[in-house]
Structure 1
Amino acid sequence: QKNLEKMVEAKTKELRETNEQLERANRAKDVFLANMSHELRTPMNAIIGYSEMLEEEAVDEGQEDFVPDLKKIQTAGRHLLGLINDILDISKIEAGKMEIYLEDFEPKPLVEEVLGTIQPLIEKNQNHLEVSISDQLGTMRGDVKKIRQTLFNLLSNASKFTEKGTIRFEARKREGDYYAEFVVSDTGIGMTPEQMAKLFQPFAQAEAKIGSKYEGTGLGLAICKKFCEMMGGTIEVESEAGEGSTFRVVLPIHGVITDSETTRTPGRRAKTESKNIDGRKILVIDDDPAVTDLMSRYLEREGYNVRVAYTGKEGLELAREERPDVITLDVLMPEMDGWTVLDALKKDPSLSEVPVIMLTFLDDQQKGFSLGASDFLRKPVRRETVVYLLQKHLRSGSEGPILIVDDEPDIRDILTRVLEEEGYRTAVAANGKEAIERMTQEKPGLVLLDILMPEMDGFEVVERIQKHPEWKSIPVIIMTALDLTEADRQRLNGYVEKILEKETFNPDHLLAEISNRIGHAESERSEKGEEASGQNPAS
């Protein structure tokens, strides 16, 4: 009996140790994937960003001969980034780490955005696009990012496998009011039944010669199928070799209830108004020199006054000193990450009202919003997105600079240039702690905030901004390259205006966001002032 008890005890101990080893291995894998995501995407940010800047400068200086080569660099960089994203996505799906973020949205603008993006690829093979979008679609509930990625992938495939043919896109309701159907059909090479049988298998392509001709990992459709299933939908395919293919994406209009569904209500979107920047200050906080350089160029070209911080601590210091109108903040920074900076910014009474745009490779939008971020930029950043966001969150007459909080020097530099060219006054911080210190010195009009930074991350910065009576109304835009977990999203819920992904960074969008966000903050301050003045006579 005693021997049996000892054997059971020993076996139990062995199983416990084995489980602990498996848990450690699983955590190590998660950390590895997160690090690989950041390390692989970061250099692409610099490659794409600098090539875009060089293209603009070449045109301005009359050296158009360089433009085709620079466009090839951008195309190759974005292609490589797409491959990296596919591999990371399928890894997260297989590890059960992929989450769904449901929100209400209008399908028609989303579809029009995707069609506008895909148009050059359609024209490349001399194809004709036919579009039919039903006016009855109304409002849907789903993961906008994953729906966009799915539609883009299907249209991209149709464009690649069709030459001098017709590609048709249809969006309509199906089965009453319960499902939406998105149909992509083409007159391309089509597929045999054998090829369709392995169509949605990861890393599988119809034939080796097709894969070598058209490039790709063979992951796109597998990822799209998983995305649709996670949202309670399906992908259906019909094809005939030599005749073309038809893909149908069917999704529930009212979303599907899942454990990963978030409860965040998307922040208000202010209208973009005409640019009248008058030296608005932007603080770029990023530890990547390439990012800060590109951001500074983008923003300065738009007339913004840019300040750069390479750590969260420096970003907070600059925020307090410069009181920027907007802060762009990187998530991944040493010592103090973007979350910590965001928390510190929101807890500081003098900086809590400064809009913060988070800049990251991660999908940490909900976390940034819960901490008080105003917006997010996805790395690598794009000039159009930056300009758009700044125009959204900043308007003429806004007090305080734009505080850019990112530990990537290149991000801070890029944002600073873009904003200062737009006429904004900027301040920068390289980490959360620095951002909080900056905000203490001068209250910014908006904060662009990264998440992962040394000393103090973006989450903590948002929390600090929200706890500071004078800061909590400052718009915060999260800039992140991280893939945010549900817990991250909840931390940011309600405290940020926008989460921008660094991999799809667009300066024009960033500038518009900043302009609108600051204008919205000014309107609220004006209304409060009128209410106070109206109450004075009675007091």
Structure 2
Amino acid sequence: MIIAFRKKLKLLTGLAVASALTVSAMGLIGLQWKTDREQAEQRFVQAASIISSNIAPAILFEDPAVAGENLESIQGLDGIGWVEAVLPGGQVFASYNAAQGARADQLAWEAVVERPIRVDGRQIATLRVGVHYRSLSDILFDNLGAAALITMVAFAIAVLLSHWMDRIAHKPIDTLMSAMRKISASGDSSVRLEQSGDPDLAAIITSFNAMLERLEQGNEALSQSAQALREARDAAEEANVAKSQFLANMSHELRTPLNAIIGYAEVLREELDILELKRSLEDVEWIHTSAHQLLGLINSILDLSKIEAGRMGIDLHEFSPLSVMQEIEGMLAPIAAQRNNTLHIVTDPDIGEAYSDATKLRQCLLNLGANACKFTENGQIFILARADGEDLVFSVSDTGIGMSTSQLNRLFQPFVQADASTTRRYGGTGLGLTITWRFAHMLGGTVEVDSVEGAGTTFTLRVRANLRGHDAGEDDSPEAVQAEAVLDTRLRSTAKPLALIIEDQPSALQLMTRLAQRADFETICAEEGETGLQLAYQHRPDVILLDLTLPRVNGWQVLEALQAAPELRSIPTVVVTVDDDRSRTIEAGAADHLVKPIDHGELNDIFIQYSQKHTGAILIVEDDPGTANLYARGLNQMGYTTQVASGGGEAMRLLQQRMFALIITDLRMPDGDGFSLIDRVAEMPEEQRPKIMVVTGKVLNEEDGMALTSKVVRLIPKNGLSPRKLGRNVQNLEVHGNAA
């Protein structure tokens, strides 16, 4: 809860006065106690001196009765409980108890005052007096009334001083606040405050007026700049549309004569072949090949210009992805053979049916497959197709030349290849990947790339399997499509991953943006939840950083909306907030929860973790559905495929049906413990045996730990494990060659 400055000042004044009163009262009581003790000591010593003088003759004449009468003189003296005369041999000559039972309970008396009894300078006995001092509580009780009266008077004075200080100290603040309200209500920054005779207030007013003047000048300059930017943007958009329309029209005009050239070249080729004019036949072959290359270039320009001009539509229909893969194999086989490459195409038989645009999907796969064949020689080309939830995933891998990080950053841009030497050696225009990227976006998906220079490249195409809601749910007007294409080009102009940062605090937003960009992420930002959701739907980022305290639509509502949308649920969302309710955010769907101030190293680890998608099948053995869903969610967000088994028996049945790269298991399960499952997996053939990671809340003894050491690759405590941290452990195993 935030306390206003005015209330803080009053509270501090009251606390200061209360503290001063408390210290004063404690000092007063302490002084009273010290004085009372000194006076009591003086009184006890004086009484002991008088008694020792009076009792000496009685002891000398051995008269205990007279001695006892002398000792009775202590009766009525405050603080004296008993008195006795003790002979040198330790024998009590006479004694007297002033209080009932005082002598029997000497523990109730704080001290014993001793006084020698002398006659003519010779000590004939010792006088012992049991005394009791007044306690601090007794003194406090006696002075309680006076202390309460003083406190009440002082408190009243403190309240009056607080009100007086409030009027004096807050007068400048109230003046400024009143002016600010007027400016805020009217929006007129030309308002100025009148000067005051108070020199301090006059300095504040002068500074405030100067600030308003600078603000007014800044607003005017900003307004002019914004207008200029709007005009420049409109002009650029108009020029871009004109360029795209021009390219589309020119491409159509160029295709007509080019088709004729190709047709006549084929006729000439047949006739020259019959006449056996080999030299002329070679010339015509060059014409035919060059014409086809030019036609491919024109077709690519036409496709790109259609997309940018908003004239590229989607032909939705039902089809079999398996049939598309068979067509791809027939088209790519001769291309692969040209460079002595071996083509491998594998399709999951359970891939099912699709409702999308088969033509655009086929073109995307052809572009990626042809690139793999072109940049590989005497190598292997792998094209794998599978279903992943509501998506179709196609992986195109090769063992070719690969790309460096700098080359990867240049991909997906029109007319750009990895570098100039690539263009000279292998040819091409650089439009294929750009069109593939745009088509993938239109089909509700993305294209990702992973490459190692000199070792090969893997492109992963992910598209929606079912686009039945596309027509009703999207705006396909030329203006909308063009605006989307332009913005997507700006944000995804390279192969860099994309981070969406939803944060309303400028400083935090700037910090996370810089860290993301330092980790080689592109960024888009939103200062409120509604805008953040719109950007998430539009751009499908690789990771979302979400604050919870947002205006209008708060972070909890954003998190709920992200989990409710199937197309956004797979995006890892990391909550970054001052709220430490970590378990609630994880249950609501967050991949992890960071508390401000954030650790830069941990945030950088998050960017590294989600900078690329991973592959591999993982079996989760967990009997608690909530926990199993938590693990599966985190691993699916990193790209892994998961399957869940509720116990060891079900896990073994699944292992017999398919191969898994990794098993994540608990040690407690309903149909036997995890140790038996681990032992059964250890007996499997090495080529079929998956790695095992144990995630458990069980405390292991030394014997259990030794039993697991040689059979599992990692042992992780279940308590506090987030989906992201589980994914990071799996990723680390993968990096070191121990997992999927």
- Structure with the higher helix share, 1 or 2: 2
Same fold (TM over 0.5): no
Give the alignment's TM-score, normalised by structure 2. Answer: 0.30
Structure ranking higher on relative contact order (CA contacts 8 Å, 6+ apart): 1
TM-score for both structures, normalised by structure 1: 0.41
For the pair shown, the structure with the greater C-alpha radius of gyration is 2
